[in-house]
Structure 1
């Protein structure tokens, strides 16, 4: 009997794998850590525990997205203000 939450877990894994490509320490580092985390918890059968882990994984995905937006914003700000001359009062 297949677990009904399996599709959610697979979707979360794929989403995190996609987000991990731009991870600051490298995509390979992130992929290895992600695989280890999912492998460690593959024997969990309780649906409530699985839902809690899915929620935690979605939180991590949102945090990664925020990290990438912040990095993008900082890079744009640096480029924009880098060439501006200082005003002397």
Structure 2
């Protein structure tokens, strides 16, 4: 990748911070956990460890996005339940 690990980390942090605004469980402290995770890894110098930390951050981002999609899907299913008396499409 052409961008520096620092820029990738900053971009990832910003994305995770934005995603945390809508986190469904306020007691989880999403922002605090993300901040501590990034602060813990701020002194990494080994490129391999940096890349591994960035991959973990991407994984967390993707899992959070999947959680939001599932939440939206469940909300729609509750709002528009399948009725048994509707004609089936054969």
Give the length in aligned residue pairs.
82
Cα distance between partner residues in 1 of 2:52 and 2:22: 26
Deviations 1:65-89 (A, max 9, x none): 000000000000101018x5x65xx
**Greater helix percent: which structure?**
1
Deviation at 1:27, TM superposition (A): 8.8
Name stretches of at least 5 consecutive residues in structure 2 with no aligned partner. 86-90
What is the TM-score with the length of structure 2 in the denominator? 0.81
Task: Work out whether 1:67 is the aligned partner of 2:64.
Answer: no
Deviations 1:36-85 (A, max 9, x none): 11111111111111011101110110110000000000000101018x5x
Deviation at 1:28, TM superposition (A): 8.2
